[in-house]
Chain A
Amino acid sequence: MGITKERSEVLQGTLDLMVLKTLDALGPLHGYGIARRLEQLSEEMLRLNEGTVYASLLRLAQKGWIHSEWGASDNNRKAKYYSISKSGRKQLARETENWERISGLIGRVLRLESQG
């Protein structure tokens, strides 16, 4: 398959995080809407297999980080709308904090090297 299990898990995790962030920032969206926003954020990953967003949504739903509800789209089509849950927001906050800590650490390390 070319891609190892860990790598695909990392990609999955990243994708999940992006979906979560999208829902947090832009409010309730259906699968198509999320795919469009993600396309803007990461052309590389979702050029093909746009449908993987649904796998991501399922993972997030299983962890309880998102809720879903049937509703009507712009064209009055029946679509499922996803929104972030309270625990999802907490998770996002945790991840953000984590990322900022790590990037801060790396930033300091890099600054250190250039001074030497």
Chain B
Amino acid sequence: MIRHRQTDQDFDDETTVHLEMLTERFVAQGMSSEEAYFAARRQFGGMTQMKDSLREMRTLPMIEAIIRDFRNACRQLARAKGFTAAAALTLALGIGASTAVFAVLDVVVLRPLPFVEPDRLMAVRSADARGIPHQLSYPDFFDYRKQNQAFEHLVSYRDADFTLTDSEQPTQVPGEVVSWDLFAMLGVQPQHGRGFIPQEEEPGAHAVVLSHSLWTKHFGGDKGLLGKPVRINGGLFTVVGVAPAGFQFPADAPAVELWVTLSGDSDTADQRGARMLDAVGRLKPGISPEQALAQMDVVAGALAQQFSDDRNSPKTLVQPESERVAGGILSPLLMLSGAVGMLLLIACANVANLLLARNAERARDFALRTALGASRSAIVRQLLIEGSRWHFSERETESCSRSSSLSR
């Protein structure tokens, strides 16, 4: 648009000067200035018509050329069906595979965990002298929790199966045994009721938070259930809360239907060798993961000194929880992505080769076009358009056959 205005202005300037000189010439030949004025304009010809046609000349060729190249490319595609199919298939394979893998990658790795400030959540494990991690025992966990300076909350969890014995048909559901501040740490407010309170860790306390799906499916979404007991594993548990719909903890164990406190594990609470827990903590503001690791190592080291047994845990491993969740499949997934990326590259290279081979045949064709006056840029443009056509091949072959049948 702007270029148009500028060249219009240019043309105005040019023609003004042209007319002036023409007028002067007629005056020099003896005409009056008024006669000369009109004679000059008559000799020049229709001004507005000229401007319009010049403007057309400037814009149309480019668009026409592109349209023409596009339709030619279509016709070429239709003619070389085998070649088209091969190239389209190659590209489809490459693109399809890459898309699939990257979609998975996106969901698994690139999406953050659905908790408040998920990058501040760190998976904490104890590790042996070589740094190889293993699970924690309750005594270790309690000591970590009490002695650490790095975490606002440190929560333990372990998988367990529970049997709901309230109806005639006992139902087995997977559950999670957690320390009291799970929901507080995650920043998740139960949809009904509340999370746990510290007292509910005491032996003899039986509190349960139900998952939303369990509450709706098994208990009929009964809001009156809050504060009431339900029979689990033959004992009575008070329903203190219902988790929000879609809530999952741990993030890599989606089927968990209820959460109870560790009060039921009082028999293992003092067995330092019973390593059955995982832990996750929220970093205090201003603490970095590296600082947390260093701090926890100090704690673990001190504990190891204090309680030396043959299975020491003098170190810890602190890593982002999101990494741990993705961790199992992260490496193979990244490798797969790399492989698929290469696949796409190879697919493109193959198509490029195919095109190159075909265009070698057309060398004579191009020589002829050049002799007839096609500039190099016109030929390059034709090839670029042909090349880009491949990417839309599948859908386009339909519209192509439609348009070529119309032009006939």
Contact between chains at A51 and B13 (CB < 8 Å): no
A48 and B13 CA atoms in complex are apart in Å by: 21
Cβ-based interface call for A5 (8 A): no
When distances are taken between beta carbons in the complex, the residues of chain B under 8 Å from A58 are 54, 57-58
The 8 A CB mask of A40-56 against B (1 = contact, 0 = none) is 00000001111110110
CB-contacts of A3-40 with B (<8 A):
30-32, 35
| Contacting residue for B18 out of A31, A48, A63, A91, CB 8 A | A31
Cβ-based interface call for A89 (8 A): no
Contact between chains at A48 and B58 (CB < 8 Å): no
Contact between chains at B17 and A55 (CB < 8 Å): no
| Contacting residue for A48 out of B17, B20, B42, CB 8 A | B42
Given contacts A58-B57, A63-B373, A64-B375, are A80 and B14 in contact (CB under 8 A)?
A: yes
Contact between chains at A51 and B58 (CB < 8 Å): no
Cβ-based interface call for B246 (8 A): no
User: In the assembled complex, how far is the CB of residue A42 from the closest CB belonging to chain B, in whole angstroms?
Assistant: 15
Of B42, B45, B46, B373, which is in contact with the most chain A CB atoms at under 10 Å from its CB?
B45
**Chain B residue total in the interface (Cβ 8 A):** 24
Cβ-based interface call for B86 (8 A): no
A75 and B373 CA atoms in complex are apart in Å by: 38
A64 and B57 CA atoms in complex are apart in Å by: 15
Contact between chains at A79 and B373 (CB < 8 Å): no
Given contacts A52-B45, A54-B15, A63-B373, are A32 and B21 in contact (CB under 8 A)?
A: yes
A18 and B383 CA atoms in complex are apart in Å by: 33
Contact between chains at B45 and A51 (CB < 8 Å): yes
When distances are taken between beta carbons in the complex, the residues of chain A under 8 Å from B10 are 80
Interface residues on chain A, size class: 20 to 34
Contact between chains at B53 and A51 (CB < 8 Å): no
Contact between chains at B57 and A32 (CB < 8 Å): no
CB-contacts of B1-29 with A (<8 A):
10-11, 13-15, 17-18, 20-22
| Contacting residue for A54 out of B14, B21, B22, CB 8 A | B14
A64 and B18 CA atoms in complex are apart in Å by: 23
A63 and B373 CA atoms in complex are apart in Å by: 9
When distances are taken between beta carbons in the complex, the residues of chain B under 8 Å from A62 are 57-58, 61
Of B14, B42, B45, B54, which is in contact with the most chain A CB atoms at under 10 Å from its CB?
B14
Contact between chains at B53 and A32 (CB < 8 Å): no
Contact between chains at B18 and A32 (CB < 8 Å): yes
User: In the assembled complex, how far is the CB of residue A81 from the closest CB belonging to chain B, in whole angstroms?
Assistant: 11
Contact between chains at B61 and A48 (CB < 8 Å): no
When distances are taken between beta carbons in the complex, the residues of chain B under 8 Å from A77 are 17, 20-21
Contact between chains at B54 and A54 (CB < 8 Å): yes
Cβ-based interface call for A96 (8 A): no
A64 and B375 CA atoms in complex are apart in Å by: 9
A32 and B46 CA atoms in complex are apart in Å by: 16
Cβ-based interface call for B306 (8 A): no
A78 and B15 CA atoms in complex are apart in Å by: 11
Contact between chains at A78 and B45 (CB < 8 Å): no
The 8 A CB mask of B366-395 against A (1 = contact, 0 = none) is 000000010100000000000000000000
| Contacting residue for A59 out of B15, B20, B43, B57, CB 8 A | B57
When distances are taken between beta carbons in the complex, the residues of chain A under 8 Å from B44 are 49-51
Cβ-based interface call for A73 (8 A): yes
Given contacts A55-B50, A63-B373, A63-B375, are A50 and B22 in contact (CB under 8 A)?
A: yes
Contact between chains at B43 and A48 (CB < 8 Å): yes
Cβ-based interface call for B132 (8 A): no
Cβ-based interface call for B47 (8 A): yes
When distances are taken between beta carbons in the complex, the residues of chain B under 8 Å from A54 are 11, 14-15, 50, 54
User: In the assembled complex, how far is the CB of residue A86 from the closest CB belonging to chain B, in whole angstroms?
Assistant: 13
User: In the assembled complex, how far is the CB of residue A65 from the closest CB belonging to chain B, in whole angstroms?
Assistant: 10
When distances are taken between beta carbons in the complex, the residues of chain B under 8 Å from A80 are 10, 13-14
When distances are taken between beta carbons in the complex, the residues of chain A under 8 Å from B46 are 49, 51
User: In the assembled complex, how far is the CB of residue B29 from the closest CB belonging to chain A, in whole angstroms?
Assistant: 13
User: In the assembled complex, how far is the CB of residue A101 from the closest CB belonging to chain B, in whole angstroms?
Assistant: 14
When distances are taken between beta carbons in the complex, the residues of chain A under 8 Å from B14 are 30-31, 54, 79-80
Contact between chains at A55 and B22 (CB < 8 Å): no
Q: Pull 9 A–B residue pairs with CB atoms less than 8 Å apart, ordered by A.
A: A30-B14, A30-B17, A35-B18, A50-B22, A55-B53, A55-B57, A58-B54, A58-B57, A80-B13
- Supplied contacts A51-B46, A55-B57, 7 more A-B pairs, CB within 8 Å: A32-B18, A32-B21, A49-B44, A50-B43, A51-B44, A77-B21, A78-B17
Interface residue ranges, B against A (CB under 8 Å): 10-11, 13-15, 17-18, 20-22, 42-47, 50, 53-54, 57-58, 61, 373, 375
Interface residue ranges, A against B (CB under 8 Å): 30-32, 35, 47-52, 54-55, 58-59, 62-64, 73, 75, 77-80, 91
